[in-house]
Amino acid sequence: MAGRRRLELCERWNGLQMQSDPLRTDQPSRKHTALRIAAGYAMAGAVWIVFSDLLLARFFGDSKTFFLLQTAKGWFFIAATALLLYVIIHRSVRSLQRSEKALMESRQSLSNLLGNLPGMAYESRSDEERTLRFVSAGCYELTGYLPSDLFQKRLDDLTHPADLERVHNEIHAALQEMRTFRLTYRIVSATGDEKWVWEQGFGVYSPLGELIAIEGFVTDITERKRAEEALRESEERYRALVEGISHAILMVDKDRNIISVNQAFVDLFGYEKEELKGKSVRIVHPSEESFMEFGRRAYPVLKNMGPLRTEWQLMHKDGTIFPIEGTYSAVKGRDGSIQGYVGVIRDITDRKKAEAELQRYRDQLEEMVMERTRDLEIAQKALVQREKLKTLGAISAEVAHEIRNPLVSIGGFARRLQKRYPDSKEAAIILKECHRLEIMLDRIKNYLKPIEIKPRECPVNRVVAECVDLLSPELDREQVTLQLELEQNLSDAFVDPDILIQVFVDVIRSSVRIMGTNRRLVIRTYAGNQNIFVEFKSPAMEKKIKDPELLLLPFEEGEQGIGVSFSYKLLKGMGGVLTLSQYKEYLVFTISLLKSDSLEAEKEKNAGEFA
């Protein structure tokens, strides 16, 4: 039963107790009234006797008439007194009847109330043990005893021994101060069961302030105590769970002021619990903007959709900002309004670092895949070119041999015709074409001629720098801007340095010759798994090259074709590859060289290969 309901019942009980015994409050006034009536009657009788005797004695003296009148006066006084007593007694009887009727009604009302009270009303003596003089019918349900069983028994006999001293002390202190006492304690019922009770009582005092009785009301609160104990145990389990969990937990009110936090929250943010309680959660945000933005994003979700899980940046007491992942829920009242919020927070710094590291590894893997793909594309392209040139070389050698004999005869006949007919244009044309064919056959012969190569470990970046110094005056004349992008700590290549210089010079000159209007040459070096790559990137000519691979063949007119094709042959002899790629806005010569520590280089060292 609620405490307010108990107080109302006890106040009602006190009022009915006073109404049920009007004599307790009216006795002094009734005594005073009786004394006044008796005194008034005595005075009136005395005045009547004295003055009536004086009058009779004055007018009649000691005559016979005097004695007759004296007797009549006595009878008159008796009759008047009898009439007066009748009126007084009649009024008193009627008043007493009304009081008795009111008392019966009051007692009936009190009996009805006590019969419906969920507890026991009592009146006891003023002794320390509170010997009972009256108990209501509710005592049976509360204690298991009938009212007759408890009459003249002590209320202390029902009190649990462990609570008896405390109950005595509290009641004694209240009675000394003449105030109402309220206390909670245990009793032992007739069946031996322990029950928790709530009692309110007060002392009844005489006009002189002496304690004459104790009245009160006792009700069973065992179920409420069990509920409170269950709630306390539940709170303890919840507190143990919250304090034992590794995630930080906080509870805030609807204005986002901190109500409570667990130990993990204290450890995570570096504050003491006393520093956080009642403070705005703004204390763990790195800025006012962060605090406001979180509220703008979280509130609509929590209000309309339910729990929110998000990542955010929060701040330690020392100013360190770190990433967290939080799950937040709204605490709503019965009317659906938000009363507060609960958040579960965990530090994800390590996870973010792992994700960043994983992304770095992923990027490296993608870069390695791209590099390997590029290596494979270059190798495939080089293989195709090598097969083409191998086939072409065999065909060219055979063709050169078969053409040279007829060509000598044709040239001889052409010279004879020219001597005979000096003005013959046809003879001049034949001689010119024969000379061109002889040059081409010599070029093929030189291309197919073996060259001795002496490979060793060689720093590629240093060779590039030497070539740049060597060609610097020539590049200045051609108004070429050179940009070097050389990888630091580049591994050595297994090549012949003298031949590599010749190749780089030929490729740079070829790049300059095929440049467009933008005169900028970019030389870049970088390492692969087993190869070192050198790129020569130059702007493309306005007129596109139909087939860039033809520049690598020894059959093109002019020095352009000779330089590049011969460089291709030189690189091939060192186990390298030269490719040419044409893009929309630029051309790229790519040279691939073997690393000095690669398996291919070891084979080259062991075989002592010659081209």
Quick one: 381 and 291 in the same domain? no
User: Are 443 and 558 members of one domain?
Assistant: no
Rounded CA separation 22/102 (Å): 9
Residues 488 and 596 in one domain: yes
Residue 335 lies in a domain: yes
Q: What CATH number corresponds to the domain at position 481?
A: 3.30.565.10
Q: Of the candidates 429, 448, 467, which is a domain's last residue? A: 448
Average pLDDT rounded to a whole number, residues 291-298: 91
For residues 267 and 288, state if they share a domain. Answer: yes
Residue ending a domain, among 195, 226, 257, is 226
Please tell me the number of Cα atoms within 13 Å of 106 on its side-chain side.
17
Note whether 464 and 574 are same-domain residues. yes
- Judge if 601 and 496 occupy the same domain: yes
Phi, psi of 538 (to 5 degrees): -135, 155
Answer yes or no: do 143 and 83 share one domain: no
Residue ranges in 421-528 assigned as alpha helix (H): 425-448, 460-477, 497-513
Considering its fold, how many domains does the chain have in total?
5
Residues 6+ apart with CB under 8 A from 156: 129, 130, 164, 167, 168
Q: What is the share, in percent, of the chain residues with pLDDT greater than 70?
A: 78
pLDDT in tens, 483-514: 999 999 888 999 888 888 888 888 888 888 87
The pLDDT of residue 20: 45
Residues 197 and 316 in one domain: no
**Which range of residues forms the domain containing residue 415?**
365-448
Q: Is residue 356 part of a domain?
A: no
In a domain, 237, yes or no: no
Q: Answer yes or no: do 382 and 249 share one domain.
A: no
Q: Is residue 240 in a domain?
A: no
Top mean-pLDDT range of 58-72, 215-229, 426-440: 215-229
In a domain, 231, yes or no: no
Query: Residue 382 sits in a domain of what CATH number?
Result: 1.10.287
Question: Does residue 317 lie within any of the structural domains?
Answer: yes
Tens digit of each residue's pLDDT (9 = 90 or more) over 311-358: 999 999 999 999 999 999 988 888 888 889 999 999 999 988 998 899
C-alpha separations of 461 from 8, 466, 501, 532, 589 in Å: 101, 9, 11, 10, 17
**pLDDT tier for residue 382 given thresholds of 50, 70 and 90:** low
Shared domain for 259 and 279, answered yes or no, is yes
Are residue 566 and residue 540 in the same domain, yes or no? yes
Q: Which of 92, 116, 140 is the last residue of a domain?
A: 116
Cα within 13 Å of Cα(341), Cβ side? 24
For tokens 């504050």, the residue is: 271
Output the six-digit token pair for 455.
């490979």
CA distance 126 to 177: 15
Sheet holding 321-332, edge to edge: 258-261, 248-253, 338-347, 321-332, 308-315
Are 268 and 347 in contact by the 8 Å Cβ rule? The answer is yes
Q: How far apart are CA 362 and CA 366, in angstroms?
A: 6
* Total residues found in the chain within this entry: 611
pTM for this prediction: 0.41
In-domain check, residue 583: yes
CATH code where residue 328 lies: 3.30.450.20
Model pLDDT for residues 422-449, shown as the tens digit of each residue? 877 777 777 777 776 776 666 566 555 5
Choose among 484, 486, 480, 469: nearest CA to 522. Answer: 484
pLDDT tens, 91-115? 878 877 787 777 776 666 666 666 6
358 in any annotated domain? no
Q: Are residues 75 and 204 in the same domain?
A: no
